[in-house]
Structure 1
Amino acid sequence: MHSLFDLGAFPCAPASFNMAAHVLAHADKTPDKVALSVISLTDVDDWTYGALKSAVLGTGAGLLKHGLKPGDRVIMRLGNTVEFPIAYLACIAVGLIPVPTSSQLTASDVEKMVAELAPSAILRAPTVACPETPGIVQIDLEALEDMREYPPASYDMGNPDRLAYIIYTSGTSGVPRAVCHAHRAIWARQMMHDGWYGLQSNDRLMHAGAFNWTYTLGTGLMDPWSVGATALIPASAVSITELPTLLAQHKASIFAAAPGVYRKMLSDHPDLHLPDLRHGLSAGEKLSETIREEWLNDTGTALYEAYGMSECSTFISASPSAPAHPDTLGKPQNGRRIAIVDSAGPVPVGSEGTIAIDRRDPGLMLGYWNAPEDTAARFQNDWFLTGDQGIMDRDGYITYAGRADDMMNAGGYRVSPLEVEAALSRYPGLLAVGVIDVEIKQDVRVIAAFFTASKAVDIADLETFATRTLARYKQPRLFKQLDALPTNPNGKLSRRALRENFEAPK
């Protein structure tokens, strides 16, 4: 029996399709229902479906009046405000190609994107870093806000396979790549509604992230709007410590966040009382069993994890209807065709290999911008290779074994850093852990653990803990406490930066 999940393909998107029209379809059915609440402890800014659609199509009309035309690329340098999703959908609605970017990027980072994409415009907030771009129009926040009042544009309908938006991913090499997605990507996300969220039109889904994070854009906004639910987004000044109060106050039924947010909430609030919450969603990095167990014990609700990537969003997950087996990510969502492969194709059940996606998956990227060779290198026959290692059991559940390029070698044994991190994260007081293998002298590599903690840690005691919880060859030989672990612009641990910043002891 091979490691192959295939229960049949998901239905194709309509022949005439627009992603924004799909997201905002409920505006015509329930125009007065609240689509979005931007919330803080003292204020609520509500947007109805009708008002949201009017702002999106008005902004689309304004962008066209600035001389932009369908197919033009538009880089988004906007902050954590509602203008971000409005401008994003406005571009897609009228056939422009938005490029949402993290506000943490530097002007130099954006300059490289400008050189690569040759955008026709940049949407710019004054507080967000951006290079000067002679010859490329920059549209400021005031102009974007004025566009909301324009007479609405019409949706640019067309082939669902045409380019809709571009997002940047850090890439396995550390070099950012421009990932091109089709309009059909939103159609494919319907597989997540049952396969991860358990999403319903009466849900109130709160996402802990900022508007200008792609995890928030998809899970926190586009998906709930697609089913007519209400999205709850904390205002930019809200801190993690205030999230439990907001969840309770606004009767959130689903909560979505990265594992680090759950960790912080559990640390700061030993007694979480969330009577309206049905469950939580986790993505962005591996969720530890410790966090999962503590959240269940404290709130009485489950956390459902999803695995995905910029090239295909999430496609393996646990859900209320199919909870994960212990220590697994879950299973492929119905409609997906997923395999664990080696160079010859799907491997036997129970064997480790590369997690792979059928190249015909409707949520899979079109390719990397102007990089046909890099795109082709990610495919092997019918499979898109994620670069992540996994093991599939007979029921289709997949255990994550780490990135192929993150796997460590300790005395001839291959060790996943995730396994070591999960074990060390159970040590009292540790807030975050990052594990890599490092070269301490020529041809000698050892496992090193870097961590942050609420107070100074007794390294000898931590070493003793590791001895009790890990096999000898998996135990770190070096431990170092840091003020913070390095992350990439998406907030994920950067093992590459850990390795580059490491200085071998003298």
Structure 2
Amino acid sequence: MLSLIDTRPFPALPAAFNMAGHVLAAGQSNPGKPALVILHPERDEVLCFADVSARVRGCATALLGIGLQPGDRVLMRLANGPAFPIVFLGALFAGLVPVATSAALTEGEITRLALRADPKLVIANPGIPLPRHPAPVIAPDCAAWASLPPAPLHMGDPHREGYIVFTSGSSGEPEAVSHAHRAILARQAMHAAWEGLIPDDRLLHAGALNWTYTLGTGLLDPWTLGATAVIPAAGTQPTALPTLLARSQATIFAAAPGVFRQMLRAGLPALPHLRHALSAGEALPPALRDDWQRQTGTAVHEALGMSELSTYISGAPHRPAPPGTAGYVQPGRLVACLDDSGNPVPRNTPGELAVSTADPGFMRGYLGRPPPEGPWFRTGDVVTMSDTGAITHLGRKDDLMNAGGFRVSPLDIEAAFHDLPGLTTCAAAEVEVAPGTRIIALFYEGSCRIDATLLHQRAELALARWKQPRHYQHLDSLPRTANGKLIRRALGPLFQRPDP
């Protein structure tokens, strides 16, 4: 049996479509229901679906009123707050193209990204670095927009450019990813096949709204079903999330693994309303998953995805992922595990994960680069596909290490140390200790350095000899992107020889 899974058909595409209109439709039947809750330290800021609709439509009117034309790009320099979703959907509603960016980017970083996106307008909160770019800059004014007459919904080809996001940059320079309006239709399968999301849910996502994980799972998906999106205010620290999670009465919690780790360390109150949690962005260590379930009594369902497609492999409440796996291919997908020649490998054989370029959720392309060609987009993730279809993630293709002629996944090594007392988190990487000589090293965070004897003993107990790290190094913090994703390629330059 070959490593290819076909769960099509793809979702049907209408002749004319608008993503914002699709996302807002469900809320029209319950206009007084809370749509967005922003959690501040001492208060909640709430917008009902009628408030959101009025502000989105008014935002569209305001943007068209200053002379923007459908297809023009709008660069967003906005913090986690109500203005972010209003501007994002308001631009889409008008046929404009919102460009979501991280508020944490410096002037130099956002200038480089703006040169690629070439926006006609920048909308920014005060104090957030702006690009050196000729586009005019305005501040969001959601209250004023709510009083404007509503703009007509811009309908058009579902394949036309809808919005732009940037990859995390964890494996190199961030790419500008152009998505079509149709992308939202491919997310429908996730509601059941990963999120377990229903209209009565209150979903709290701990990430920044510019991240595709937060933007989709934390905002667009709840609103598509008429559920409530709950977002921590800008500047909220992970240690404050346990209290906010309890106060918000969230039924689903979503975050990256690092956030779960910090919350567990801070201590969790009783969470009687929580049904389950969601994790994505990087691999969730089994020990961390077990610790969350032990303390909360709720499961964590993991998903594998990317900025170019969002999630497409996951476990779910009705079909949990088998232990040690990322889950199953979602409905409406075509996925394969390929060899170097582009052919599906036999089941249970490592290969590179690939997705169909015909998937409606797949990007239009990277700005400044030719559009993707061929039937498959190779993701760079190395996986195995079991006889039952469960996917086991072995790591990124460029992260796999060569130890004595054996290919070793850093995830295997890291999993062996995650429950070691005194170790907070860790990352394995291959480092060059002398010209032509490379070894496996383990970099770790913790309150203090751990005795090397304990580290070696754990490795000998849990890992085959060729997988055992030859070097251990304590770091104050592992290198990460603004969204918390590990930058593994940055570990090598941090290598320091042990004192003689």
State TM-score, norm by structure 2: 0.96
Paired with 1:421 and 1:92, the residues of 2 have a C-alpha distance of 42
6-15 vs 313-322, which moves further: 6-15
Q: What is the aligned partner in structure 1 of residue 102 from structure 2?
A: 102
Contact 1:439-1:504 at 8 Å conserved across structures = no
Q: Deviations over 1:287-337 (max 9, x none)?
A: 010011111111111100000000000000000111001100000001111
Partner of 1:130: 130
Contact kept in structure 2, 1:170 and 1:488, CA below 8 Å? yes
Tell me, in whole angstroms, the C-alpha distance in 1 between the residues paired with 2:51 and 2:143.
13
Letter matched to residue 415 of structure 1: V
What are the ranges of 5 or more consecutive residues in structure 1 without an aligned counterpart? none
AA matched with 2:111: E
CA distance in 2, matches of 1:57, 1:26: 16
Structure 1 residues 146, 499: CA separation in 2 closer, same or farther (over 3 Å shift)? farther
Q: 1:181 aligns with which of 179, 182, 187?
A: 179
Find the counterpart in structure 1 of residue 414 from structure 2. Answer: 421
Give 2:477's match in structure 1, choosing from 463, 479, 484: 484
State the AA in 2 paired with 1:398. Answer: I
Counterpart-to-counterpart distance in 1, 2:497 and 2:73: 45
| AA matched with 1:436 | A
* 3-state SS of paired residue (2:483): coil
Q: Alpha-carbon deviation of 1:281?
A: 0.3
- Matches of 2:442 and 2:376, distance apart in 1: 34
The answer to whether the Cα contact below 8 Å between 2:238 and 2:259 also exists between their aligned partners in 1 is: yes
Q: Secondary structure at the match of 2:482?
A: coil
Report if the CA contact (8 A) 1:282-1:305 is conserved. yes
**Cα shift at 1:497:** 1.6
Question: What is the SS of the residue equivalent to 2:229?
Answer: strand
* Residue 299 (structure 1) aligned with residue 292 (structure 2): no
Q: What CA RMSD, in Å, does the superposition of the two structures yield over aligned residues?
A: 1.6
Cα deviation digits, residues 473-493 of structure 1 (max 9, x gap): 111111111111111233201
Other structure's SS at 1:190 match: coil
Partner of 1:359: 357
In the aligned structure 2, how far is the partner of 1:264 from the partner of 1:71?
Answer: 41
Is residue 170–residue 487 contact of structure 2 (8 Å, CA) maintained in 1?
Answer: no
Determine helix, strand or coil for the equivalent of 1:394.
Answer: coil
Q: CA separation in 1, counterparts of 2:209 and 2:11?
A: 30
Unaligned ranges ≥5, structure 2: none
Q: 1:114 to 1:8 in 2, by over 3 A?
A: closer
- Secondary structure in structure 1 of the residue aligned to 2:47: strand
- Partners of 2:411 and 2:349 lie apart in 1 by 18
User: Which of residues 373, 386, 389 is equivalent to 2:382?
Assistant: 389
How far did residue 237 of structure 1 move?
Answer: 4.3
Residues 168-221 of structure 1, C-alpha deviations (whole Å, 9 max, x = no match): 114575022111100011111001001101110011111112334332211111
In the TM superposition, what whole-angstrom CA distance separates every residue of 1:416-446 from its partner, at most 9, and x where no partner exists? 1111111111211211212110000011100
**Counterpart for residue 195 of structure 1:** 193
> 2:139 matched to which residue of 1?
140
The answer to whether the 8 Å contact 2:337/2:352 transfers is yes
Inter-partner Cα distance in structure 1 for 2:225 and 2:467: 46
Which digits, 9 at most, give the CA deviation of each residue in 1:81-106, with x for residues without a partner?
21111111111111111110011211
SS at match of 2:360: coil
In the TM superposition, residue 455 of structure 1 has moved relative to its aligned partner by 3.2
The residue that corresponds to 2:308 in the other structure is 311
Pairwise mapping of residues 78-89 of structure 1 onto structure 2 (< 5 A)? 78-89=78-89
Superposed, which structure 2 residues align to 1:13-412 within 5 Å?
A: 13-133=13-133, 135-141=134-140, 143=141, 145-170=143-168, 174-269=172-267, 272-342=269-339, 343-372=341-370, 375-376=371-372, 381-412=374-405
Contact 1:54 1:152 (8 Å CA) reproduced = yes
Q: How does 1:426-505 map to 2 (within 5 A)?
A: 426-504=419-497
- TM-fit CA distance, 1:459: 2.5
Between the aligned partners of 2:170 and 2:209, the Cα distance in structure 1 is 25
- SS at 1:12 equivalent: coil
Contact 2:171–2:487 at 8 Å: present in 1 too?
Answer: no
Structure-2 separation of matches of 1:468 and 1:280? 31
1:326 partner amino acid: P
How much has 1:501 moved relative to structure 2? Answer: 3.3
Deviation at 1:107, TM superposition (A): 0.9
Q: Counterpart of 2:441 in 1: which secondary structure? A: strand
Query: TM-score, structure 1 length as denominator?
Result: 0.95
* SS of alignment partner, residue 90 of structure 2: helix
1:25-61 CA-partner distances (Å, limit 9, x unpaired): 0232111111111123521111100110110111111
CA distance in 2, matches of 1:395, 1:122: 49
Amino acid at match of 1:297: R
In 2, the alpha carbon distance for the partners of 1:186 and 1:131 equals 29
**How far, CA to CA, are the matches of 2:173 and 2:236 in structure 1?**
32
Is 1:315–1:333's contact at 8 Å kept on the other side of the alignment? yes
**More moved, 106-115 vs 85-94:** 106-115
Tell me if the contact between 1:26 and 1:49 (Cα under 8 Å) persists in the aligned partners: no
Query: How far apart, CA to CA, are the structure 1 residues paired with 2:490 and 2:464?
Result: 27
CA contact (8 A) 2:170 2:488 kept: no
Query: What whole-Å deviation, never above 9, does each CA across 1:341-389 have from its counterpart, x for those lacking one?
Result: 11241111111101111111111011111200xx44xx5x421111111
Q: Provide the rounded CA distance (Å) in 2 between the counterparts of 1:30 and 1:95.
A: 25
Number of positions where the alignment pairs a residue of Structure 1 with one of Structure 2: 498
SS at match of 2:35: strand
Amino acid at match of 1:160: P
Distance 2:116 2:210 in 1: 21
Contact 1:166 1:178 in 2 (8 A): yes
Specify the code of the residue in structure 2 equivalent to 1:42.
Answer: E
With over 3 angstroms needed to count, the CA separation of the structure-2 counterparts of 1:239 and 1:115, relative to structure 1, is closer
